[in-house]
């Protein structure tokens, strides 16, 4: 589904990514772990087209998307849930969700939209309760449910998740991660950037550790969970 080969990104004199290689298959969850400033978010932004690589190739379904704009990449089925829960604060829950569907198909019937809403509200009943509330009035957990649903309503083939657990209570984190697992079972490929390493690897098939812009470790989740270097750096407490 996704192949990243030799990816390099520079911000002026600073090299944020240095020859990064990552692969992701259909219906697979792959975790990307690393400290703040390691280059994880830059990787996601490069895939979507928000950042232009200085070297390397990014392929989606075997076709290069390396130099496509975010708009064109999105139209090919790539969605990003950014860090920080960026909702349209002065729009209602339903209006936020409508924005996600409109981006996908432009025009849609009322019946199409109602069908998609039913699926969202089945997954997150709390959003149904809040459906007419303005998004800025929602709790952090509810906003995360909303941005995840807004991304998924367009039926992406590749979902990029940037720190979905950030600032959330443990019970909400469990709910979000359970939903991520369900999405993968439905065939969505998910590239998951997450600082809660143990939580991410518990649902991912494989993982990559990014350190100072390079891939320091990679392998199956089970292998990484038992790697002394991982345990020392990221898994001391979970």
Binned at pLDDT 50, 70 and 90, residue 128 comes out as: very high
Q: What is the CATH T-level fold of the domain 1-77+156-163+175-238, as seen in this structure?
A: Rossmann fold (3.40.50)
Q: What residue ranges do the domains of the chain occupy?
A: 1-77+156-163+175-238, 87-154
Residues in a beta bridge with 191: 30, 160
**Which tokens is 98 given?**
């409508």
pLDDT given for residue 94 in this prediction: 93
pLDDT given for residue 86 in this prediction: 83
Binned at pLDDT 50, 70 and 90, residue 238 comes out as: very low
CA 41, distance to chain mean position in Å, is 10
Binned at pLDDT 50, 70 and 90, residue 192 comes out as: very high
pTM of the model: 0.89
Q: Which residues contact 170 (CB under 8 A, 6 or more apart)?
A: none
C-beta separation of 7 from 201 below 8 A: no
């Amino acid at each position: 589904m996704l192949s990243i080969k030799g990816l390099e990104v520079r911000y002026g004199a600073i090299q944020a990514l240095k020859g990064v290689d990552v692969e992701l298959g259909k219906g697979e969850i792959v975790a990307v772990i690393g400290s703040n400033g390691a280059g994880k978010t830059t990787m996601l932004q490069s895939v979507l087209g928000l950042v232009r690589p200085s070297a390397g190739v990014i392929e989606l379904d075997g076709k290069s998307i390396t130099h496509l704009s975010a708009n064109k990449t999105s139209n090919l089925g790539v969605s990003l849930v950014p860090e920080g829960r960026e909702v349209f604060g002065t729009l209602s829950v339903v209006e936020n969700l409508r924005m996600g569907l409109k981006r996908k198909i432009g025009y849609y019937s009322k019946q199409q939209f109602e069908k998609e809403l039913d699926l969202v509200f089945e997954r997150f009943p709390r959003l149904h309760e809040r459906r007419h509330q303005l998004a800025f009035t929602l709790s952090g957990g509810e906003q995360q449910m909303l941005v995840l649903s807004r991304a998924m309503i367009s039926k992406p083939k590749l979902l990029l998740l940037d720190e979905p657990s950030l600032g959330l209570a443990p019970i909400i984190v469990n709910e979000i991660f359970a939903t991520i697992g369900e999405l993968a079972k439905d065939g969505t490929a998910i590239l998951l950037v997450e600082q809660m390493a143990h939580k991410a690897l518990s649902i991912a098939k494989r993982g990559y550790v990014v350190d100072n812009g390079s891939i320091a470790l990679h392998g199956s989740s089970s292998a990484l969970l038992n790697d002394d270097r991982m345990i020392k750096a990221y898994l001391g407490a979970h």
